Chains A and B, each alone.
Chain A
Amino acid sequence: MIAAIDLKKFFGPVAAVNGVTFTARDGQVTGLLGPNGAGKTTTLRMLYGVMRPDGGAIEVDHIDATRHPREAQARLGVLPDLVGLYPRLTAREQVHYYGELHGLSGEVLKARTDDLLKTLDLTHLAERRSAGYSHGERAKVAIARALVHEPQNVILDEPTNGLDVMSTRAVRAIIKRLKAEGKCVLFSSHVMQEVSALCDSIVVIAGGTVVAHGTPDELRAKAGYDNLEDAFVALAGAGEPR
């Protein structure tokens, strides 16, 4: 479970995130939906502990993440905004590196790596260096290394951004599997179909604040549109300062 409580983040005079509150529950997929520049990435960065909030609190499985960032991070699997790989390491080594940083080793690490590479259809890349990978292959390796320690909570920042249909399906399959395993999945997106197809709960953010929060049906009802995209435009627009 991940909880953001009145999160705030300022860059100079600009309030990138200005009072964001929501909870992503276990066994659910929560979508963070918003236009570009709405504060999605900044919110997620605070949640996964690479940015300190200027105000508010974060809880990861009831651990105060701002006071115990490493404990919180140990319970998180993250696909961050930037997913650079090490060009001279193979897919297996990239996953291994993260596993070892989480304290895994030996047979356990090997078994989990094999399982992830297989699930994400990366077995053919296992022993190949990542220098020549396609965008989709890179994204899948980044997801594999984020999940190697079997985290209870998974945060994915625009996981399908720029991926082709096949890779997008693989990512969706992973999200569904994680949900079935009772994990808490939080991902950001600006792609409507994806959010409506996957999410149990949607947090619409715009201008650094939460403008709506609920199930897809609730959001449609609140905005007064049957189409989720229209609902999103109406909701997001409401948050934009004009």
Chain B
Amino acid sequence: MTFGAHLPPWARQARVVLVKELVDSFRDKRALSSILLSILVGPLITGFMMNRIADRQREADDVRIPIVGARNAPALVQWLSQQSGVVVATGPTDPEQAVREQSEYVVLIVPSDYADDFRSSRPAGIKVVADSARADTRAQVQRVQGLLQQYNAEIGALRLIGRGVSPAAATPLKIEGVEVSTTQQRAAKLLSVIPLMVLLAAFTGAMQLATDATAGERERGSLEALLVNPVPRGALALGKVTASALSGMLAVMVTAGLCTALLRFIPLQELGMRFRFGTPHMVGLMAAALPLCLLTASVQSCVATLAKSFKEAQTYMGILILAPMLIGVMGTLYPIDHQPWMFGVPLLGQYVLLTSVLGGYSPGPLAFAAAALTCVASAALMLRATVALLNDERIVFGR
């Protein structure tokens, strides 16, 4: 081992601890798979949902309308088939059963007295068979109902004109729906989940190692033996925290990589989003998120050292992870107005940077530097606190 021969003894010892902790934790198959699962679930669900939204958008534009008794209403059928994206088909023999079995999402039934009623200007019955419990076909059913409303209004207006009445007299209200949550916006909201997932990865990735190397070390009864070695507590803490931070960084890289890979598969154009994710974005994501791992690792190590048991440490980890969730959820619900001071607040700064980068807007190197610097500085403070705890006999031998 010639590399690092020039290092001072404490730094070499810290490196020995770092390597041991990494080897040790990467052999922990169960912990590794739980980390992997928590990292993978977010991006995969998001990607899946984005795809579904895109599919539904596509499906709603193209509707197939099976009609039972089409020959009772040739004018309506012709009008429908002239609408863009509409294909008229012959209806199944048992419409309700077909919808219930989900072989059709909607069936129109035109009764035999339709023609008579229509001709004598009585409201002509028409049935729309649909399953309102099915969320995935709601868009198509709404489209069909919208088309019928449109036909209804057109015929009604024509009849009024025929009787010398202005159609306006029959429409006292002019109702305009302003839809806030369009499909595009829903998709954009899903995209805004990516910064949250990257922040979460910085926590979940570092967590396992941080607890195992501190609370776990004590619970296993190996801490006392470790402290007998002529190693300054600072070197021990530095090695452990760095190992945990590296594990967090790996999780962040995997998450960001996975999200970008998914972005390539999702038909963003169909969702009306012009989003191009390239290398500069990736570099930006890393520059924003990687320094955070130093902080998450040191906070988690400190808290886990303070905990009386491994179980208690895990409980605290669960509480700590609420911090990024809170910021992420707030950011998704109420878009955060970016202020310069935010870059200097750990976690919030990273969130703002990540959303900026994904929004295709670069906040400038100064913002990145400020965010990284506050992270490293607070990580150093937490490291000092951890060293102080390791120097406390009550902590080392349990209280």
Contacts and interface: CB of A to CB of B under 8 A. Distances in A.
Interface of A: 45, 48-52, 69-71, 73-74, 76, 78, 80-89, 93, 97-98, 100-103, 105-106, 129, 142, 145-146
Nearest to A75: B230
A97 B230 contact: no
B229 A101 contact: yes
Interface residues of B, number: 27
Contacts of B224: 45, 50, 80-82
Given A78-B228, A103-B12, A105-B1, A86 B221 contact: no
Interface stretch (B20-28, B127-135, B168-176): B20-28
Given A50-B396, A89-B24, A101-B16, A83 B229 contact: no
| Most central of B12, B23, B217, B227 by chain A CB within 10 Å | B227
Given A88-B27, A89-B23, A74 B221 contact: no
Contacts of B232: 70
Contact of B221 (A49, A84, A98, A101): A84
A102 B24 contact: no
B231 interface: yes
17 contacts: A45-B224, A50-B393, A71-B230, A73-B230, A74-B230, A76-B228, A80-B228, A82-B222, A83-B225, A84-B217, A84-B225, A86-B222, A89-B23, A97-B16, A101-B230, A101-B231, A103-B12
A66 to B, nearest CB: 14
A90 to B, nearest CB: 10
Nearest to B239: A101
A98 to B, nearest CB: 6
Given A52-B393, A102-B230, A103-B12, A97 B225 contact: no
Contacts of B231: 70, 101
Given A70-B231, A82-B223, 6 more contacts: A84-B217, A85-B220, A86-B222, A97-B20, A103-B12, A146-B228
B28 A101 contact: no
A102 B393 CA distance: 23
